[in-house]
Amino acid sequence: PNPSGRNDRPRPGSHPPTPLLPASSFPSLPVCRLGNAKCSSNPFEPTRHAQPLMARPRRPVAAALALLIVVLLACGAAADDASSDDDAGVLRTPGCSNKFQLVKVKNWVNGTEGTTVVGLSARFGASLPRDVHKAKRTFAVLANPFDCCSNLTSKIGNSVALATRGECAFTAKAKNAQAGGAAGLLVINDNEELYKMVCSDNDTSINVTIPVIMIPQSAGKKLKDYLDHGASVEVQLYSPNRPVVDLSACFLWIMAVGTIVCASLWTEFVAMEHVDERYNQLTRKDGPNSGTNHSEDKEIFEISAKGAIVFIIVASVFLLLLFYFMSSWFVWVLIVLFCIGGVEGMHICLVTLFSRFFKDCGQKTVHLPLLGEVLTLSVGILPFCVVFAILWAVYRHASFAWIGQDILGICLMITVLQMARLPNIRVASALLSAAFVYDIFWVFISPLIFHESVMIAVARGDNSGESIPMLLRIPRFFDPWGGYDMIGFGDIIFPGLLVAFSYRFDRASRKGILNGYFLWLTVGYAVGLFLTYLALFLMDGHGQPALLYLVPCTLGVIVILGWLRGELHDLWNYGKLQNENLVDEP
């Protein structure tokens, strides 16, 4: 028997997660630098009016740090959750050289169609038709003996034999079923995984001409129970091709790129903040269309190089804890955190949008007990956001749940990218390089140590039966195997921090579209994400560490472009002197 046991069924997962850094889109608090615990307000700005509670919420640094750790968990692969074949590390011999393929097993009990079962074909035996219309509908019978390890006591009569795993080699079972006149063989596994059925070392030449399929234990037990009670069971076996390109991957690509572009432009075009070239920082400018007259310094968390390395180390430890100790209750904790972050992000985005386009909405306030003066708009929107998140949590397994998850996730990531910022590409290089190594190690190298990819196992929730919600996903609409394409929040947030920095640098330096960096980094991110999905296709759907392709296409682009333009020194040290001046001011 083959020592490899791998589940090749369509199943969700492939990408750990990431969010929860609630941040306000409104200017309200001083600039803070992560890693040195220093904060300072801009001494050059005039005194601001008081801000109503909830309109400009203040968020503690500790909460932001905790949420950043969760963000780091989103490093992972853009992925699809089904692999139709996997031939790695399996020796081929004459008569035993088929590709492993997922198989659909349609079944009827007394003429009533049941739930289609997904199985896995063997390395040997006949190939199955790709089109369901070319597949024959055949009766299923129990093998006798049930393990099919010896000659069958009765002829099966051109039916599909149902046998249990164990007691002898898979090839022996197939030969006995074929000798008994079976048209095919369904092997019931002893668990829910789909085991790869290969030839033993002694099988030098195999002549099996019937299809041999392994099915999960639960599905096989149901079919056996029906047959034991005298029911008539029919099966239809076929293995449809997956489309080369599914539109879901295109939509996911648009969602990821659009989120980064929207987050980069949000501050200026939605929240109506403009660049103050004198001090090279974003300050709020009140105007007739700003939607509010409140103007306070904005709370910003600037990531330091030291902090970036610490985050990656802590995230690695947390990832291991999830790998070894994840359970259903732990996933629920992550779901609750995701809902809290999603509510915060959605609330901030909606309040900002309404305040931007409906000026009066951002000015009316109401006084509430304990909370004090609160924006009426905020009071009205917050319950809607809470109900939205609760409904998603309750119906998260429904076919439409991906819509709510993506809405909450996009709002959350836009908010994160407003709060956490890179001061220069020196820090960006430290953060993205560390995340680059982190992503590759836990996806590709960890199987050599832990016998499976730690990040992929955590992302799809192998130990809990439920995948982590910190990712964008979209159904594969035109794939006969169904499933989802997905990408972790970290694969959007980490490059997004650099893209957002490039936009601020361009505005502060008064650069145009073509001679700036924002356009080229956006294109670089789009190309990197395309390369990720190309690799996903070439690797038969196995999860890919997206930062392997995204970091060179973003960080590499700005470094090379800055070097060619002679601006690398400015990019490398940008904001350093300004931040030092802010901290030193009394």
Choosing from 406, 491, 506, 540, the catalytic residue is 491
Buried b (16+ CB within 10 A) or exposed e, 516-528: bbbbbbbebbbeb
Q: How far apart are CA 59 and CA 22, in angstroms?
A: 8
Burial of 51 per CB tally in 10 Å (0-12, 13-18, 19+)? buried
Name residue 233's amino acid: V
Q: Any residues with CB less than 8 A from the CB of 581 and at least 6 apart, and which?
A: none
Buried b (16+ CB within 10 A) or exposed e, 400-427: ebbebbbbbbbbbbbbbbbbbbbbbbbb
SS3 579: helix
Q: Any residues with CB less than 8 A from the CB of 410 and at least 6 apart, and which?
A: 255, 259, 472
Q: How far apart are CA 28 and CA 284, in angstroms?
A: 9
Give the CB-side neighbour count of residue 375, counting CA atoms within 13 A. Answer: 29
Rg (alpha carbons) of the chain, rounded to whole number: 28
Contact 544, 79 (CB under 8 A): yes
Choosing from 439, 479, 485, 540, the catalytic residue is 439
Helix locations, 53-194, DSSP H: 61-72, 170-179
Residue 439 annotated in active site:
yes
SS3 569: helix
Q: Any residues with CB less than 8 A from the CB of 8 and at least 6 apart, and which?
A: 82, 83, 84, 85, 86, 100, 102, 120, 194, 196
Residue 491 annotated in active site:
yes
- What are the CB-based long-range contacts (under 8 Å, 24+) for 261-264? 261/499, 261/522, 262/414, 263/413, 263/414, 263/417, 263/418, 263/496, 263/500, 264/417, 264/496, 264/499, 264/500, 264/502, 264/503, 264/518, 264/522
Q: Quick count: other Cβ atoms within 10 Å of Cβ 360?
A: 11
Q: Smallest Cα–Cα separation from 336: which of 411, 379, 386?
A: 386
Please identify every residue annotated as catalytic. Answer: 439, 491
